[in-house]
Amino acid sequence: MLLAAGVYPDFIGAIADVTRFKFKKRSLVTLAAVVASAGLAILLLAGVVKDLVVYHRWIMYSLFIGLTLGGLPLVWRMAKPATTSTWIGAVFGFIGMAMLALAQQAGGAGEAAGPPGALIMFLAGMAGASAMILPGVSGGYLLLVMGVYVPLLAGIHAFKDGLKAADTSVLLEVGMQVILPVGLGVVLGVAFVSNLLNWCMERYRHATLGVLLGLLVGAVVGLWPFQKGVPPKVGEIFKGQTVTAETLLTIEPEKYPTVFFNPEPSHIVGAVLLVVLGFLCTVGIAKFGERKDEIKNEIKNEKQNEVKAVSDDTP
């Protein structure tokens, strides 16, 4: 979305400046605006999005597919003209993302015996931050395939409720288990990946953009929309423990294992429409970003022409 909105180059440049201890006013303002708006959106929408994913998974996954694929034209324009290294990078990127998605669907990351630990949350923060830096790659998707998307949103929502109730025990618990490790992961991920991406783009531009294209297309593999959470049955082993009638009542819907279901025609039509809607949202923001860049270039050219006219009139 940063790329689509036309602020991606400024954002990357601002991170590069700050991580090299160059505290320019423009860079600080850019980072402050992005961080503040992202933080506000997380605090206000974490609980809503968590519930939507838990109770309306196929709807949200369909929308995520469209939002993800909407980044494809953006990265493709950056990658043209495609070379052999672009296609090789795209193949490796696709295979890597597809394997990650299939591992998650097979029960890898999402079936850990217990809630995600601080280390997993730290890695989740790094993954989310890395995706924010990589144009077109969805951070939410990476968190989904790591099995921490819903727990992370639930933790943020609980932290917000703790703030409202001034409950220090909740704030301390969620802060140490979720907020602190994720925050550290985000900071280190942004600093490391932004500089690594700059280095790769300078030296291996076509291959790097090819990998990004492959990641985008491969991401769709893990977002098959027709799946839902189902409660475990009494007697089954769930997260290392045998489910009883009493423990079943304590398992929250957000922790239910997911299964695929056979969609009805209405599901298929709805999914297609939502994919198109998500795609158009990203493309629409990209058009806005392009218009913003055009206006900036027009203003820049006008100023240059004014300076040239003044210099020509000077005897």
* pLDDT for the residue numbered 303: 57
Handedness of CA 19, 182, 117, 1 (dihedral sign): negative
* pLDDT for the residue numbered 59: 93
pLDDT tier for residue 110 given thresholds of 50, 70 and 90: very low
The rounded distance, in Å, linking the Cα atoms of 310 and 29 is: 32
**Residue 88 to residues 7, 84, 113, 131, 198: CA-CA distances in angstroms?**
29, 6, 37, 21, 20
pLDDT in tens, 240-279: 678 888 888 888 787 787 888 899 999 999 999 999 999 9
* pLDDT for the residue numbered 311: 57
Of residues 29 and 136, more confidence is placed in: 29
Q: pTM, whole model, 2 decimals?
A: 0.66
pLDDT in tens, 169-223: 878 888 888 888 888 888 888 778 777 877 887 888 889 888 888 877 887 777 7
Residue 229: name the closest of 38, 54, 5, 31 by CA: 54
pLDDT in tens, 285-302: 877 766 655 555 555 556
pLDDT tier for residue 118 given thresholds of 50, 70 and 90: confident
Of residues 7 and 113, more confidence is placed in: 7
* pLDDT for the residue numbered 305: 58
Residue 254: name the closest of 43, 49, 65, 45 by CA: 49
Reply yes or no on whether the pLDDT at 109 is more than 50: no
pLDDT tier for residue 86 given thresholds of 50, 70 and 90: very high
Handedness of CA 257, 258, 264, 265 (dihedral sign): positive
Reply yes or no on whether the pLDDT at 70 is more than 50: yes
* pLDDT for the residue numbered 112: 42
H or E element at residue 218 = helix 205-219
Q: What is the mean pLDDT of the chain?
A: 78
CA angle 150, 268, 281 (to 5 degrees): 60
The rounded distance, in Å, linking the Cα atoms of 110 and 116 is: 9
Q: What is the mean predicted confidence (pLDDT) over 24-31?
A: 87
Task: Give 225's contacts (C-beta < 8 A, 6+ positions apart).
Answer: 57, 58, 59, 61, 62, 65, 271
pLDDT tier for residue 62 given thresholds of 50, 70 and 90: very high
Reply yes or no on whether the pLDDT at 149 is more than 80: no
* pLDDT for the residue numbered 108: 43
Reply yes or no on whether the pLDDT at 143 is more than 60: yes
Reply yes or no on whether the pLDDT at 111 is more than 50: no
Q: Which residues pair with 237 in a beta bridge?
A: 242
Of residues 28 and 307, more confidence is placed in: 28
